[in-house]
Structure 1
Amino acid sequence: MATAVTDPPTATAKPAFTGEFTWVDPYTLVVDPFNHRHHHDNEEDTTEPDAELIASVEETGVQSPILLRPQPSGAPGNEVLGIIYGQRRHKAALIAADKAKAEGRPYFLLPALVRRDLTNVDDEALALSVLENKQRTDPHIRDYIEAARQLSLMDAPPAAKERHARITGLTRDEMKAAETATKLSPESLADAIAADFDLLELADYQEVEQVPGARTRLRQAKREDQSDGNGRRGHWAQALSKLRQHKEEMAKRVALIADLVSADITMVDWHPTWRDTKLHPLEDLLDQHRKKITPTTHAECPGHAASIDPSEPEVTWLCADWAKHGHTLTKAAARDTPTQQAEEERAKRREVIANNKAWRAARQVRHDFITNLCDAPGDAPDAIWKFTLSTILGTLDTYSSHISRHRTDLMAQFLKIADPNEGQAWYSRVDAPFGTLISRTGKTRRWRPLFAQVAAAYEHEAMSDRAWRDDIRINTVTWLAFLKERGYVLSDLEGEVLVNGLKQHKGRTPRPRHS
């Protein structure tokens, strides 16, 4: 039986838009308010024509049409046209026309395309302006920021905003970043532009703008990334995570102070040592019965006061004049001079606080990197397959311990799905938590849940808050070494842990143990 043959559908051509070509007098035009290129004080005006363009226009006129649309300010019968794009050509035409008029010669009209369909359609006009100018002499990054701000304020449906992003040539993330960057103060924006931050970096900077030294730290991180030459932002991510942590601590400190003020608690300045002051922390004091004093038992004392530790947003409770109010010092606090052991303990505590904070700040960066690894297209590289299978099929206690806990939270996070056991008690956990994911995962992506589970095992079992301390486990070294090989930029502390761990394990090659 013969099979019917159908002809392929006939392709037809259609115009991309409707417009009218015309010649216009350059003296009659205005710049459309939604033309996204503007001159910024103390910065190069990128709308100015160069000498070569001016010479060309003087000789042959403008050869490429500019884009215009009618302006709402035009009176009936006296239409005013505004420039959506083509400011440089317009300015060159004006300069050439001024010269021709001064010499008594006729001047050239401007070729133009008039888009009457864009009348009062401001979002489309702005998007087209961004698109055209992006392909010519670089507009200032401020122009992109301002354009994104204007587009974000316009009442347009999501589909239109998606179209704007496609037209402008900016990614969705860049459009969103540009909107965020508009919240930077003028001073911070100028500093960040001088540091050559791109749109995504400007948005990151805005998030931590109020943290002292943020721009300097991010600029240094950007230079380190550029020096690495791999196109990644690893140093930037580590610096940003620390700045976010600092911002959170600043907010906690402000909240603590507000609580203390509202409770009418006397606030005093912090001292690294209270030995030479009338003040002393309550932990160093005893009451008249030689019992330890607590903030609750001390609340009625006239010397009840508090101070905020600058290294950690925590309240230190004190008595403002412990001797006057009948308190005595503990034996440890009563020593005339602190012992070397006490000084070493204080130094160790400061180190622990600082390193715990640094370790936690790096954790989020590391988790983001792992999530991106799990989201890579296609099949896994050989190195990931070998590491994953070596872990699963080996005798690694990190993996077996993790499996016995039946945790699914981190694995779900790395796969960017909801935790199927969130809120469930241990005894009522889902039997096949990733069944739906497995059934929908194609052959070339089946490595993802396996690697996500292995990564979760290492993160839970080998990267706890204590993992950086003196006795560094080989599994911690193994995991950091693997991530570094995959392109992860170690934080300063992670780098120290890897180096010290390799020394402790005598250069032993960090890899999962096989059975």
Structure 2
Amino acid sequence: MATAVSTQTDAPATHEDALPQIVQLDPALLVRDTCNAREHDTDPDEKLIASVKELGVEEPISVRPLPDGTFGVFKGWRRAQAAQAANASAEQDGRPVRMVNAYVREDLVGRDGWTRLLSLVENDHRESMSERDTLRAQELALIDMNDVDRRSAAKALGVGRHAAKHAKAAQKLNDATLRRAAAGGMDLEQTAQLAEVEDVRGAEHRLLRALQRDHEEGSGGRGHWDQEMALLRAEQSDAKARAEAEQELKSAGIPLLAPVSSWHKDPAQPLTELTTGLGNPLTEDSHRGCPGHSARLDDEHKPVWYCADPAEHGHKVRPKPKKPRTEQDEKAAEERRRVIACNRAWKAAAGPRQDFVTRLVRMKTLPDAARVFAQEVLLTVPHYYSSWILKHESEAVARFLGLKDPDKADLTETAAQLPKVRVVNALFAHVAAACEYSIREPRTWSNLLPSQARYLLLLESLGQADTGSYQLSEVEQQAVASHRPAAEADA
């Protein structure tokens, strides 16, 4: 039996290195290896069986010996089954019983991760392997490896270091969604992110559209994708907060009233517009014993207390002049909805923006525009920077510098260990942290100061350069519009 020499810490032999010689095996001794990456469509079709009956298996398969004397096929299982089917009817058809040429990989015994990886590479280059099989094989192959092998395998697969985690997450999607994601050009990380926000209405369509916009720009970046993901996560968080608020009411036994509809008469009234029969005000506590005690949730998912039927339960409506809902009222309601949406979008935009700052700070050489901006702030000490310094906020600086546990990081120790070539990067991290603090409030978008706009416009310009892809979100673009240079705004 052919052998191959390999250690447990090195990658297995390749065709160019020490691949074992081809040996002939009886197809009856062949079984599917548990690490064969293909888990669907594993049976040979009639065309393949007919070919093997006529010509035998022309390309060698790859196997590894198993303790019971059989051989696990991790490459070529469909061909092996075709050979078994051909031999089963050979005597009846007057054909010879044929052996199968195989590489016997003793170096892979006990090395499930590498076996699965080699099977994945083999099948990934062939047609008809499903996206789910590919994801499953990537996950299991990388999990089974040590750190050194995992880095080598990830490089061979063209995936990132978190590929196993991403592959596991992506498998939550159904087969149809996986096919659409692959057809739309999503990579493994993006497919995993789609799985993360799949429950948000329209998430798949919105992400595919964002990805297409990134591809159309041709810079290889993912600025539109990152901004859309931030919005989807914000919407998901908002939906979760509402669901939790609804559950709290349900647990307390308080009915949640349906949204107000112009199509149905609604007798319910908020307690602020009701009194007792004697004219005393009604509060949550005093009304709690009323059978009509109920609630609606406002735009921030806070309960607004109602009585479901004041007349039925003996309450009086506070007298107030009747006035029809005017066009001005409609505009005010629309403006409130717009403000809430912009507040949420502004908060969501902080994630991609701060991720981009982190990438800038970790660059080998900080872009000149970022360096000059940091130097100017340090020399002129504007109000927002001096105010931030007095607060002794260090978590954002530590996060931008890539320190572990940024909320507990010791910047004194970091300063002592900081190489000279990284000082400018650290200064920019310091200035950026102050800028981020100054625009942290949701309503900042509505009245952006020139200094705040300058920071955002700087990041936009750097994002469009070769430093990495970054796009201002829609609400950020809206906020800086009046601060753009006149020539740029006219364009």
Aligned to 2:274: 285
Unaligned runs of 5+ in 1: 1-13, 423-429, 510-515
2:260 to 252, 264, 271: 271
Aligned to 1:81: 71
1:96-115 paired onto structure 2 within 5 Å: 110-115=100-105
SS of the residue 1:446 aligns to: helix
SS of the residue 1:23 aligns to: strand
Task: Measure, in 2, the Cα distance between the counterparts of 1:435 and 1:223.
Answer: 45
CA offset at residue 295 of structure 1?
1.9
Aligned to 2:306: 318
CA offset at residue 25 of structure 1?
5.6
The C-alpha deviation readout for 1:6-47, integer Å capped at 9, x for no partner, is xxxxxxxx977784531346676444232113445xxxx999
Residue 182, structure 1, aligned to residue 159, structure 2: no
Aligned to 1:356: 343
Q: 1:50 to 1:236 in 2, by over 3 A?
A: farther
Task: Measure, in 1, the Cα distance between the counterparts of 2:152 and 2:43.
Answer: 26
Task: Measure, in 2, the Cα distance between the counterparts of 1:307 and 1:108.
Answer: 76
Residue 66, structure 1, aligned to residue 51, structure 2: no
Aligned to 1:382: 368
Aligned to 1:5: none
CA offset at residue 212 of structure 1?
2.0
The C-alpha deviation readout for 1:316-337, integer Å capped at 9, x for no partner, is 32111123434444566x5241
Task: Measure, in 1, the Cα distance between the counterparts of 2:43 and 2:199.
Answer: 31
Note if contact 1:267-1:307 (Cα within 8 Å) is conserved in structure 2.
yes
Residue 337, structure 1, aligned to residue 332, structure 2: no
The C-alpha deviation readout for 1:375-403, integer Å capped at 9, x for no partner, is 22x12122221222222223533323323
Unaligned runs of 5+ in 2: 1-11, 464-469
Aligned to 1:482: 458
Aligned to 1:450: 427
Q: 1:115 to 1:417 in 2, by over 3 A?
A: same
Task: In structure 2, give the amino acid aligned to 1:36.
Answer: A
Task: Measure, in 2, the Cα distance between the counterparts of 1:448 and 1:138.
Answer: 48
CA offset at residue 351 of structure 1?
1.8
CA offset at residue 207 of structure 1?
1.2
SS of the residue 1:22 aligns to: strand
Q: 1:407 to 1:121 in 2, by over 3 A?
A: closer
Aligned to 1:144: 134
SS of the residue 1:113 aligns to: strand
Task: In structure 1, give the amino acid aligned to 2:379.
Answer: L
CA offset at residue 114 of structure 1?
0.5
The C-alpha deviation readout for 1:109-129, integer Å capped at 9, x for no partner, is 654220234345433321232
The C-alpha deviation readout for 1:451-508, integer Å capped at 9, x for no partner, is 1111112111145322111x33212321221111111212121122222443xx8679
The TM-score with structure 2 as length reference comes to 0.80
Q: 1:491 to 1:167 in 2, by over 3 A?
A: closer
1:126 to 116, 132, 149: 116
Identity %: 32
Task: Measure, in 1, the Cα distance between the counterparts of 2:193 and 2:374.
Answer: 33
Note if contact 2:117-2:138 (Cα within 8 Å) is conserved in structure 1.
no
Task: Measure, in 1, the Cα distance between the counterparts of 2:390 and 2:46.
Answer: 70
Note if contact 1:128-1:167 (Cα within 8 Å) is conserved in structure 2.
no
Note if contact 1:355-1:493 (Cα within 8 Å) is conserved in structure 2.
yes
Calculate the aligned-residue CA RMSD, in Å. 4.1
CA offset at residue 249 of structure 1?
2.3
2:196 to 198, 207, 211: 207
Aligned to 2:401: 415
The C-alpha deviation readout for 1:146-179, integer Å capped at 9, x for no partner, is 113444776x766665666466554322222012
Aligned to 1:425: none
Aligned to 1:217: 206
SS of the residue 1:267 aligns to: coil
Q: 1:164 to 1:466 in 2, by over 3 A?
A: same
Residue 245, structure 1, aligned to residue 234, structure 2: yes
Task: Measure, in 2, the Cα distance between the counterparts of 1:197 and 1:421.
Answer: 34
Task: Measure, in 1, the Cα distance between the counterparts of 2:54 and 2:66.
Answer: 28
The TM-score with structure 1 as length reference comes to 0.76
Task: Measure, in 2, the Cα distance between the counterparts of 1:404 and 1:479.
Answer: 20
Task: Measure, in 2, the Cα distance between the counterparts of 1:127 and 1:508.
Answer: 51
Task: Measure, in 2, the Cα distance between the counterparts of 1:46 and 1:140.
Answer: 14
1:461-476 paired onto structure 2 within 5 Å: 461-469=438-446, 471-476=447-452
Aligned to 1:6: none
Task: In structure 2, give the amino acid aligned to 1:270.
Answer: P
SS of the residue 2:471 aligns to: coil
Task: Measure, in 2, the Cα distance between the counterparts of 1:158 and 1:331.
Answer: 74
CA offset at residue 292 of structure 1?
4.7
Task: Measure, in 2, the Cα distance between the counterparts of 1:283 and 1:153.
Answer: 59
